[in-house]
Amino acid sequence: MREHSIYAKNRDHVKIHSRWVCGLCGHKIKKNDLTVDHIVPLSRGGTHDLENLRLVHAKCNIIKGNLLDSEFPIHKRCYFLWLNFLTIFLP
């Protein structure tokens, strides 16, 4: 199977079996605000394997960029919480 179709298949699996909680900030994800994140980024040697994929908010994924979870500065984690606070309480 080609790389891309493996990714498409596993991405769909993650969406179906996810608890719809963002893997980065821990808040609920709406269908119109999701992306599938590579936990270890492809640019860092990550794969399309199921174990390396998870649902995250689109905005959280942008902030994460090509970092590993362990490389997140704490202020970025707080930023996630703040973004979600805004999402929940503003129209």
Contact status: 34 vs Zn ion (CB under 5 A): no
If the CB atoms of residues 6 and 27 are measured against Zn ion, the closer one turns out to be: 27
* Least distance CB 10 / Zn ion (angstroms): 20
> What is the footprint of Zn ion within residues 44-83 (CB under 5 A)?
57, 60
CA angle (70, 14, 79) in 5-degree steps: 40
87's CB contacts (< 8 A; 6+ apart) are: 27, 33
If the CB atoms of residues 6 and 63 are measured against Zn ion, the closer one turns out to be: 63
Nearest to 76, CA basis, from 55, 56, 60, 90: 60
DSSP helix/strand/coil, 71 = helix
Find the part of the chain contacting Zn ion (CB under 5 A) among 2-10, 19-27, 36-44, 70-78: 19-27
Which residue ranges make up the site for Zn ion (CB under 5 A)? Answer: 22, 24-25, 57, 60
